[in-house]
């Protein structure tokens, strides 16, 4: 597959799900990446084979854009550093965990509900263990105070 065929397939795969500027940014990025690798001496076909199926890459891009919501990522070119993502921070070891897809939100909600149910179960268990001891003790204390209070009058 040639570079133009690869880019055209990717453009077609992205066309229904993304805005024109996001499509253009990604096409520009992959066009520049392939050209840069060819300038380094690699064959165009080898670079495209390494990248893989443009439809799979497009699906990954679409999911990435859906997960970031309305935030759009941009790609810039620096001749000394090559291509990089415009959202990249100075410290590459720092990662931000976001909950953007519906199933991740569902897992978080179910996890929170599970923790709440666990706490209620533990408190209920402790109460059921202590109730046979504490309730009669409270009744005895109440009766003693009631009787002791009459004797003082």
Q: What is the pLDDT along the chain (153 residues), one digit of tens a residue?
A: 888 998 899 888 888 878 888 888 888 998 999 999 999 998 988 988 888 888 888 888 888 887 776 444 455 555 555 555 544 444 444 444 555 577 888 999 999 999 999 999 999 999 999 999 999 999 999 999 999 876 555
Q: Which run of H or of E encompasses 82?
A: strand 82-85
Return the ∠ at Cα 9 (arms to 7 and 12), rounded to 5°: 105
pTM to 2 decimal places? 0.45
Structure tokens at 6: 């690869």
Domain boundaries, the chain: 3-85, 96-153
136 CB-contact burial (10 Å; exposed 0-12 / middle 13-18 / buried 19+): exposed
Q: What b-and-e string marks burial along 22-35, b requiring 16 or more CB atoms within 10 Å of the CB?
A: bbebbbebbeebbe
């Amino acid at each position: 597959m040639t570079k133009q065929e690869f880019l055209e397939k990717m453009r077609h795969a992205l066309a229904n799900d993304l805005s024109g500027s996001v499509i253009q940014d990604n096409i520009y990025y992959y066009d520049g990446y392939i050209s840069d690798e060819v300038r380094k001496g690699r064959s165009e076909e080898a670079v495209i084979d390494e990248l893989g199926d443009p439809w799979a890459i497009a699906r990954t891009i679409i999911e990435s854009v859906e997960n970031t919501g309305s935030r759009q990522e941009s790609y810039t070119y620096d001749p000394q550093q090559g291509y990089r993502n415009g959202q990249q921070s100075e410290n590459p070891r720092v990662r931000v965990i976001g909950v953007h897809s519906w199933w991740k939100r569902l897992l978080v909600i179910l996890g929170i509900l599970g923790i709440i149910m666990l706490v209620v179960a533990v408190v209920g268990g402790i109460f059921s263990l202590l109730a046979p001891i504490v309730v009669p003790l409270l009744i005895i204390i109440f009766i003693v105070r009631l009787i002791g209070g009459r004797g003082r009058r």
